[in-house]
Chain A
């Protein structure tokens, strides 16, 4: 016996009015499910933009909404089957095209080599280089960054304020360490707070000062 979830009823309602607001909301809230299904089936992470796998899955999901009936089981398990099937078809086709084409082109990833992505990759490599001058690598940043949202936000604020002060920035880049005493005085924060997030703070200052604007979009 199938246990009916709310979702199953929601889908039936949507079928009656595809253009309703409910439809958009439902797609939006189903996004994590769709992404997770794609990721598991293809064995890779889903890109935020221009992901063929995701787009195919999305189409299959719409199809599932249209075709769903209670006797198919739960909606999600039904949708999963449709998505998986479409992804398999897509992969087969991509492999066929790959083998038959003269060039060794990875059709699935052909859109990934846009200039935007190349720029971002170069920025990140430059960022890595800058960080290494301070003895910081990405693993260090994960381990030593503040775990709490509030602490991180405070650290970001400190980083932004510091990057506006020319003398502090000079000190940082010359001595390869934060001018903690001065920062503590000027921004009225305790030294302990600064020291506790120092690698994180330094990383943000580097992003701002070195104008890694593409990376900066990831720091709010």
Chain B
């Protein structure tokens, strides 16, 4: 059974690390896996997306429109942009944190007001201010791992594998904080 996971973020939010962890977790669970990171020229500030396709035998790392099972959106507006790629009834994990694009900052456009209603019309939405929660427990940068914890509820892979892979992928001095963030996301007790 193939699982199509999409990730959306603004450059600098740790999306590439998150797709890397998902890929490694799938490999250790004995699955075939392929991923994309489409980062364009955004070191920082531009829109970026990732995809992780896991299952028995995977051909393309790409996910066609209306084929996504799970969306992990690190920023609210970027969640909306990915909706055309989701199946009806998809799991949508949405960080409420907003980052204004230039057009909004310069007051040429409103920050899209219809995000939540569109998400609700598409699938099962799990909302959280991951950036604020991450900041509360130690550092806003672990918001990405916190959101992976939420996603882990819908990916049947044991916690031990997640923990091991996270430990190997994050800086040594932040291992504990990242594991705490993951467990918090998984349990939903934030």
Q: State yes or no: do A and B come from one complex.
A: no
